[in-house]
Structure 1
Amino acid sequence: MPENHETTAPQWGFFQRHGLLFVGTSPVVANAIGSLFNVLYNRNQVFPLFTDAQRMRFDDCVLWFNLLIYPIAMLCFVIPLLWLRPIHRDLLAGKPVDVTTHQRAQRYVVNLPWWFLLVASAGWLVCIPVFIISLYVLPDPLSGVIVAHLVTSFLIASMIAITHSFFAVELAIQHALFPVFFRRDMPAGETMPASVPGIVPLNITLRGVLWTVSSVVSPVISLVLILLLPDDANLAPRFAVGVGIVAIAFGLATSWMLGKLVVTPVQQLRRAATQVAKGDLNAHIHLLCADEFGHLINSFNSMVEGLRHRELLQQTFGRHVGEEAARQIISQGDQLTGREQVITVMFVDVRNFTHYSSSHSPSEVVTALNVFFREAVERVEQHGGMVNKFLGDGFMAIFGVGSNAEGHAQAAVDSALSLRACVDQSTDLFKNAGWDDLQIGVGINTGPAVVGSIGSPKRQEYTAIGDTVNVAARVESLTKAVGQCVLITESTRAALGDCVVCKPLPPQLVKGKGTPLVVFAVE
């Protein structure tokens, strides 16, 4: 069973509320002008070639044609609008519409310009056999010149009227019906006009051809015929001026409509692309089109949505592995690769963690650690570092990876000093978290290490591996033994400037090293 969907009716504008009437009347002006052009052309250029009986028969045909054929053509054009009326009314009121019916209505709406083109073409072109046959049955001879110019007059008038009306109907549908029939909050509203199955949109090339035929070819042919026909009454110059004025007016009108149908999407795409280029991923094009621009707009919106999703994924991913690590991993892809480079590694450990954990609940421990880690991560990243992993009551940070490859030893020491100052100055913050005497130890070492994604194809970790990392961890463990907060190795000291005050300590034996390690306390 198709689903029904309750919606709240939005505030519609005048054109949306009266969209069907607007669409139904949109071709009237162009057809009226086309008919006037045809009448004037025949009166000034063809009537001089008629006999009296032919003139009377022609006038009778015009009368009966307007009384019979035009109303039938108008009724045929209005039939789909009458079928759409109850659906349009329900959509305006926010009432539920059957999904299948809604999708069928969307297809009707998109294809309405072609239905009008079919009906209008039939209405105009049937003039040719009707008028010629009605004149042919008269006893007066009908010359080939008259037939040729009658055919030409109807063809030119029909091309002018139909093509301009087609653009008018298409523009009216886009502005008055698309917003109603393609609401996103409706079940079938997720389908964009360009994605409706069974539609035949007019592409840009055919639009150019139609514009050329209606605004250039038809008036030029008319002017040429005016010059070629006999003009005993000397009416050709005035009629030629009239044709020129009509051609200019229609050309300007068509250019304006084409501007709405072609230039507007291009401008909106340009503005949205500029927004995205500036980093604003909230750009979205709301214009509804059924032609190539519709597909282009849908693709653009999907692309921006994908970029937003990728940005969100990178931000979420970055909260787990660090922003810089996330960028490195995404740029690297799923390859298991690592690159050896000189980096600075910093290990940070919270003192007396075991004692604190034994007297507090796990949730209290986690709350206190999160307060500390929030402050610590901010200071590490402020100095260009990357918190690589959390180690229960501490963490490991890497400096000198990615875009922050210069001065990484100095950045690591500055980060450690900033973190130490934060701990000293934020006693009330940690006290509120239940940790009155929080203290830390920091060990820093500089040297070569392999940095990159390491692991199996199914489970990988972005990290640094090497003796440099191991030594940094050992130096951090020395902070308790020597009673210092921040310790650095000799290699880190050599990479620092003279502005950092370091106190040399006696060489220390560490696990995994056969010779004592030279370390410095940072004042």
Structure 2
Amino acid sequence: MEFIRRFFWPFNVSYNDLPAEDVYQELRGICIAGAFWPICIGALLFYFGLSLTTYQQLLGLFLILPAGGVAMYFAGRITMRRDFLPIRRFLQAPEVEADSDMAAAATIQAKNFQIYSVRRILLFQAPAFAVAFSLMAIIANLFMGFGLELWQAMVALLVAVMMGIAHAIFEYYAVAGIMFHVVRMAHKVCGDLSPEQRNRVIPLDMRRKLLFVSTFVVLPPMIILGTTMLIDIRQFLLQLGYDDALGFVPGMVGWMLLVVTVGFVISLLIFLRMADEAGDSVTELSDAMSKVEEGNLNISLVERTTDEFADIYRRFNRMVNELMERERLRDAFGRYVARELADDVMQNGTSFNSKEVNASVLFADIRDFTAMSETMSAEEVVAILNEYFSVVEPTIKEEGGWINKFGGDSLLAVFGVLTPQPDHINHAVQAALKMRHALHEFNLTQEAAGKHSLRIGMGLHCGKMVAGSVGSRERMEFTVIGDTVNMASRIEGLNKKWGTDILISEDIAKAMEGSLTVEAMPTTHVHGKSQPIQVYAVK
């Protein structure tokens, strides 16, 4: 039962589980089915529409029509094997040998195969049928007493033309499913086509499809029907001996041409209107998607129809609204954590595996800020802190750093944690120098406005630390912990002791030797260390 359904109505068949080695045989079955229907219908028209004798009917059904069918089959088989060749190479190639170029060639051929099917039928199979039919009819007339008259042959060939068009339309839509199966298999290997490869795909929009269907479905049947009726009426009158009555034929021809022309124009206008309506909806949706792709989410589609496009428009608008909400969330989230972390959370969830990294730490703190804040209102304190952080944060980001946390009037920045930085030490030092310059410019602006200026101290150290999520199931924080981080904080605290603004550890000084002017400070003890440490002030 399944075989019969697939053979006679292959339009809604699922090919998801079809093995690659069976694709060609399934395609051949579809093409045979596409030819079966027109030949059967043509045989019925041949049998009932040509006023044939029993001998002529038998000879036509068992000799002439089969000869045309055989010619059509072999013409189709030869051309289809040629058209299928790039797809066959991909499907038959071992998995290890199927490269992206081979898969891309199969994808392009599969996407063009529907048009190639129409070309094959109209340019090869239909002419092959007509030639074989005509030759066998001539041979039968000459040697087998077939007695097919010229008008009957003309009607038969017109019917063959109409059946060829029906065959082309049937197969165009019938092979779509199996070709999509090929495209899906090839896409796993080559992915999306490149712009150059996409240019090799023959574009066929909805407007062209409807014009093709309207032209070949409406016009040929009307012409063939009118022509065959006139030929039949003429022959009937001749057989009855009413030769004088044939004078009406020219007028009937004119009338037939008028009816065909008017009917075709009306049908064409209707199909054009349908094509424009569908095309306008598709174009509007495509333009809107292009704007979304460019990052413009301030767009909404107004439903213009009550068909399936209305539902698509509603779904598109919901999608855009969800994207806007997601973007707002990411933007808000990115203000509290690093953008890289925000993106990772949005894509992969909140699970951050802890890892040991070799990185640099910059700890900065505002000098005497507590005493200064006692003379300011709460709003002024928050305002000057925000202005200060807005000035120094870009300098850290310029060097690939990430501010791990703000601690009131202090900040902790790390380099080489979120993304690997082989020269993270140099980036940390350059960030500190840029912060010094940015703070100088900031203070000039503050003093010119009669506001408080700020002094900061910075401490830098490098080494191993652990980066990962810390917290409970309800609330987590991605941070860095370890002796390296603590040491940077201790070094920063020494600025107050010596009146400096940038102090670096001995490890950083050695790494930057020759490229940075420093002054060795007296060795000193810091909290948490049993031995005194050596630090350097950056000039």
TM-score (norm 1): 0.55
Give the Å deviation of 1:348. 0.8
Alignment check: 8 A CA contact 2:366 2:456 kept: yes
> Does 2:269 correspond to 1:253?
yes
With over 3 angstroms needed to count, the CA separation of the structure-2 counterparts of 1:261 and 1:328, relative to structure 1, is: same
Q: Whole-Å Cα distance in 2 between the matches of residues 392 and 460 of structure 1?
A: 20
Give the Å deviation of 1:236. 4.0
> Does 2:310 correspond to 1:294?
yes
Higher relative contact order (CA 8 A, sep 6+): 1
Out of 409, 419, 423, the position equivalent to 2:425 is 409
> Does 2:482 correspond to 1:466?
yes
Question: What RMSD, in angstroms, separates the aligned Cα atoms of the two structures?
Answer: 3.1
Alignment check: 8 A CA contact 1:344 1:446 kept: yes
Give the Å deviation of 1:398. 1.9
Q: Whole-Å Cα distance in 2 between the matches of residues 493 and 287 of structure 1?
A: 66
Q: Whole-Å Cα distance in 2 between the matches of residues 288 and 386 of structure 1?
A: 48
Q: Whole-Å Cα distance in 2 between the matches of residues 307 and 217 of structure 1?
A: 44
Equivalent position of 1:174 in the other structure: none
Alignment check: 8 A CA contact 1:341 1:451 kept: yes
Give the Å deviation of 1:374. 1.8
Give the Å deviation of 1:272. 2.4
Give the Å deviation of 1:392. 1.3
With over 3 angstroms needed to count, the CA separation of the structure-2 counterparts of 1:246 and 1:336, relative to structure 1, is: same
With over 3 angstroms needed to count, the CA separation of the structure-2 counterparts of 1:267 and 1:399, relative to structure 1, is: same
With over 3 angstroms needed to count, the CA separation of the structure-2 counterparts of 1:519 and 1:267, relative to structure 1, is: same
Q: Whole-Å Cα distance in 2 between the matches of residues 315 and 453 of structure 1?
A: 21
Query: SS in structure 1 opposite 2:493?
Result: helix
Give the Å deviation of 1:351. 0.3
Which amino acid in the other structure matches residue 223 of structure 1? I
Q: Whole-Å Cα distance in 1 between the matches of residues 476 and 460 of structure 2?
A: 25
Alignment check: 8 A CA contact 2:211 2:272 kept: no
Query: SS in structure 2 opposite 1:458?
Result: coil
With over 3 angstroms needed to count, the CA separation of the structure-2 counterparts of 1:435 and 1:467, relative to structure 1, is: farther
Map Cα deviations across residues 156-211 of structure 1 (whole Å, 9 max, x no partner): xxxxxxxxxxxxxxxxxxxxxxxxxxxxxxxxxxxxxxxxxxxxxxxxxx999998
Alignment check: 8 A CA contact 2:214 2:268 kept: no
Which amino acid in the other structure matches residue 488 of structure 1? I
Q: Whole-Å Cα distance in 1 between the matches of residues 511 and 536 of structure 2?
A: 13
Equivalent position of 2:233 in the other structure: 230
Alignment check: 8 A CA contact 1:350 1:440 kept: yes
Query: SS in structure 1 opposite 2:464?
Result: strand
Equivalent position of 2:381 in the other structure: 365
Equivalent position of 2:84 in the other structure: none
Give the Å deviation of 1:253. 1.5
Which amino acid in the other structure matches residue 269 of structure 1? L
With over 3 angstroms needed to count, the CA separation of the structure-2 counterparts of 1:246 and 1:500, relative to structure 1, is: farther
Query: SS in structure 2 opposite 1:337?
Result: coil
Give the Å deviation of 1:309. 1.7
Q: How does 1:164-203 map to 2 (within 5 A)?
A: none
With over 3 angstroms needed to count, the CA separation of the structure-2 counterparts of 1:504 and 1:495, relative to structure 1, is: same
With over 3 angstroms needed to count, the CA separation of the structure-2 counterparts of 1:506 and 1:462, relative to structure 1, is: same
Map Cα deviations across residues 29-79 of structure 1 (whole Å, 9 max, x no partner): xxxxxxxxxxxxxxxxxxxxxxxxxxxxxxxxxxxxxxxxxxxxxxxxxxx
Query: SS in structure 2 opposite 1:320?
Result: coil
With over 3 angstroms needed to count, the CA separation of the structure-2 counterparts of 1:364 and 1:225, relative to structure 1, is: closer
Which amino acid in the other structure matches residue 334 of structure 1? T
Query: SS in structure 1 opposite 2:336?
Result: helix
Equivalent position of 1:385 in the other structure: 401
Give the Å deviation of 1:325. 3.5
Which amino acid in the other structure matches residue 230 of structure 1? I
Equivalent position of 2:464 in the other structure: 448
Q: Whole-Å Cα distance in 2 between the matches of residues 498 and 372 of structure 1?
A: 31
> Does 2:406 correspond to 1:400?
no
Q: Whole-Å Cα distance in 1 between the matches of residues 513 and 256 of structure 2?
A: 89
Q: Whole-Å Cα distance in 1 between the matches of residues 207 and 275 of structure 2?
A: 11
Which amino acid in the other structure matches residue 459 of structure 2? G
Moved more, 438-447 or 496-505: 496-505
Q: Whole-Å Cα distance in 2 between the matches of residues 210 and 410 of structure 1?
A: 65
Q: Whole-Å Cα distance in 2 between the matches of residues 486 and 514 of structure 1?
A: 24
> Does 2:481 correspond to 1:478?
no
Q: Whole-Å Cα distance in 2 between the matches of residues 407 and 506 of structure 1?
A: 28
With over 3 angstroms needed to count, the CA separation of the structure-2 counterparts of 1:338 and 1:293, relative to structure 1, is: farther
| Structure 2 residue runs without a partner (length 5+) | 1-205, 235-245
With over 3 angstroms needed to count, the CA separation of the structure-2 counterparts of 1:435 and 1:352, relative to structure 1, is: farther
Q: Whole-Å Cα distance in 1 between the matches of residues 423 and 268 of structure 2?
A: 65
| Percent of aligned positions that are identical | 33
> Does 2:330 correspond to 1:314?
yes
Map Cα deviations across residues 252-296 of structure 1 (whole Å, 9 max, x no partner): 323421332222222223222222223333344345333332222
Alignment check: 8 A CA contact 2:470 2:476 kept: yes
Equivalent position of 2:508 in the other structure: 492
Alignment check: 8 A CA contact 2:506 2:536 kept: yes
Map Cα deviations across residues 433-473 of structure 1 (whole Å, 9 max, x no partner): 87534210011122222223321110111211222211111
Out of 265, 281, 294, the position equivalent to 2:281 is 265
Q: Whole-Å Cα distance in 1 between the matches of residues 257 and 371 of structure 2?
A: 102
Which amino acid in the other structure matches residue 439 of structure 1? R
Alignment check: 8 A CA contact 2:457 2:502 kept: yes
Q: Whole-Å Cα distance in 1 between the matches of residues 435 and 345 of structure 2?
A: 27
Equivalent position of 2:438 in the other structure: 422
Map Cα deviations across residues 10-43 of structure 1 (whole Å, 9 max, x no partner): xxxxxxxxxxxxxxxxxxxxxxxxxxxxxxxxxx
| Structure 1 residue runs without a partner (length 5+) | 1-205
